[in-house]
Structure 1
């Protein structure tokens, strides 16, 4: 298993995995247009891979992406008296079914945790599903105070 940052050659697989992830947890979306989604996701991924804001980590097995985790870096406003480091927002965490429960996702997360420490990012924030809470806990993540939200009407 090779854990690495995603490259342009991975885009088609990443698009399909995003689609599969969505349908797995929300079957009501299966009648949406794959072609329309593919175009939008293709643009997003092309831009993300070129940016210094997004980092998409993948676990690859013989050319097949088995798992991925997306990280977006968010810059903080500088504060007097301390060096300001960005924090990371983790999203789109997914392992394809045939690779689940074998430690693949934890290996990707461990790689990211090492990368976070090495780059001195301040913290990582993730909103896990109820099913994923134990996955994060066993990898060193803890619950934090719930953030507030605003939904414009």
Structure 2
């Protein structure tokens, strides 16, 4: 298994993984939406994101097949006098294909993302876990916080 940052050549597989990830939990979301229209929108996002320097897509690959991915967006903070300001990271779209779950694949990938975030001196990583993934994040050093507030529209 190789763990690396995704590149433009990985886009087709990443699109299919995003489609599969969504329909696995929300099959109704595929109804009335053709794959080709989703593919076009997702391709535009990924092409832009991978070139932006703001998004980083980490992948675990086995014999040329992407088996797990984690998307990380950098959030830059407003500078503060007397203190060097480091960005924080928003982690999303954490997905491992079903055949590789329970084998340490996701944990190995997340561990590499954590090492990278530490090397880059990010202040913290934030993730909104599903109910079923809370244990996974806990095993990998994440804990629930109570500070953020949110407003839904």
TM-score by length of 2: 0.97
Q: CA deviation at 1:57?
A: 0.1
Q: CA deviation at 1:146?
A: 5.6
Report the Cα distance in structure 2 between the residues aligned to 1:46 and 1:88, rounded to whole angstroms: 20
Aligned pairs (5 A) from 1:86-101: 86-101=87-102
Q: Which residue of 2 aligns with 1:36?
A: 37
CA 1:88/1:17 → structure 2, altered by over 3 Å: closer, same or farther? same
Q: Which residue of 2 aligns with 1:14?
A: 14
Q: Which residue of 1 aligns with 2:136?
A: 135
Unaligned runs of 5+ in 1: none
2:4 aligned counterpart, secondary structure: strand
Q: Which residue of 2 aligns with 1:70?
A: 71
Unaligned runs of 5+ in 2: none
* Deviation string, structure 1 residues 53-101 (Cα, Å, up to 9, x no partner): 0000000000000000000000001111211000000000000000000
Report the Cα distance in structure 2 between the residues aligned to 1:69 and 1:23, rounded to whole angstroms: 18
Report the Cα distance in structure 2 between the residues aligned to 1:138 and 1:22, rounded to whole angstroms: 24
* Deviation string, structure 1 residues 16-51 (Cα, Å, up to 9, x no partner): 000000000001112221111000000000001111
Report the Cα distance in structure 1 between the residues aligned to 2:42 and 2:72, rounded to whole angstroms: 16
Q: Which residue of 2 aligns with 1:120?
A: 121
Report the Cα distance in structure 2 between the residues aligned to 1:146 and 1:97, rounded to whole angstroms: 33
What is the RMSD of the two structures over their aligned residues, measured on CA atoms?
0.9
1:81 aligned counterpart, secondary structure: coil
Following TM superposition, the consecutive aligned residue runs of length 4 or more in structure 1 with deviations greater than 3 angstroms are none
